[in-house]
Amino acid sequence: MIGLGAWEAGGDAWGANPADEDVVRAFHAAFDAGITWVDTAEVYGSGESERLVGKALAGRRDDVVVASKVAPSPEGTGFTPDQVRTACDASLGRLGVDALDLYQLHWPDENGVPVEDTWGAMAELVTAGKTRSIGVSNFDQELLERCLPIHHVDSLQQEFSMLALDDRALIRWCGEAGIGVVTYSPLGVGFLTGRYTRADAEGIDDWRSRNEWTTPEQLDETFRVVDGLRPIAEREGVSMGELALAWNVAQPGVTAAIAGSRSGDHLRANAAAGDHTLEPEVLDEIEALLS
């Protein structure tokens, strides 16, 4: 299953935002193409993403699963129980909905708030009817095991792609423990779409250049994988992005993948990837490439 990630709608990712109506139109294209859930967060554009998702949901709420997140302070509202409740109410207001389908802790807190206190507040939101499910993002197994005795962890959202395999064992463990896994950045921050040449990548000056994605060593590995995938995608009759997404959701433990864009065409292509099943021999071929 492929979902719509709304980080880019907040204007944090690739520069200035398009007009509201263009973003909403792209979201509608995704929904019309069969994407039935959207993931946003309070920190995406300081609430701007949630506001735009809310506009896109007008008249469509019953057809779309809506997920959002609260982040630790100072970036987000914070992880004390009172802060979690305040953050949830604010997100509901920006989204214009009565309840979320999934509410998540965006990343672990480093301010000393015990995760047990935070997770207890999240569980209370379920009891209060403000969210149907609760999950976490960017957590490790130790933190997940601290949450589980308090309330089931419905989902883990984690970075995972052919270019980011570090959490493969954790994702498999979650599948065995009955925790759904939603992967983010399944397109390898754009490189797995095949749209970039090595020269293009070396000239990138956005947030990726500050996160080691464009170091010479990383680009060597990135383009070894990308160049190896091109003939496989051509043979399968799919785009590079569709191949990367289909591979992602086929991995043990993965429930769904989030793919974001502000382009209606890209979102329609992402939706199509959810319908493409890779044969075992193709998965084996890709696995050999990644080994």
CATH of the domain at 55: 3.20.20.100
Place of tokens 């992005």: 241
Question: In angstroms, rounded to a whole number, what is the distance separating the alpha carbons of residues 53 and 32?
Answer: 15
Q: Kindly give the pairing relationship between strand 2-5 and strand 134-137.
A: unpaired
In this prediction the pTM is 0.90
**Is 174 a member of any domain?**
yes
The verdict on whether 184 is a catalytic residue reads no
**Is 151 a member of any domain?**
yes
**Is 162 a member of any domain?**
yes
**Is 281 a member of any domain?**
no
Range(s) of the domain holding residue 6? 2-191+240-276
**Is 101 a member of any domain?**
yes
Return contacts of 19-22, CB within 8 angstroms, 24+ apart.
Answer: 20/52, 20/55, 22/262
pLDDT in tens, the chain (291 residues): 788 988 877 765 545 567 888 889 888 988 888 889 999 999 999 999 999 999 999 988 888 999 999 999 999 999 999 999 999 999 999 999 999 999 999 999 999 999 999 999 999 999 999 999 999 999 999 999 999 999 999 999 999 999 999 999 999 999 999 999 999 999 999 999 999 999 998 988 888 888 789 899 999 999 999 999 999 999 999 999 999 999 999 999 999 999 865 555 666 666 655 567 999 999 999 999 998
**Is 154 a member of any domain?**
yes
Instruction: Work out the number of other CB atoms within 10 angstroms of the CB of residue 217.
Output: 8
Which amino acid, one-letter code, is at 111?
N
Helices (H), ranges, 156-263: 168-177, 198-202, 216-236, 240-249
**Is 233 a member of any domain?**
no
**Is 71 a member of any domain?**
yes
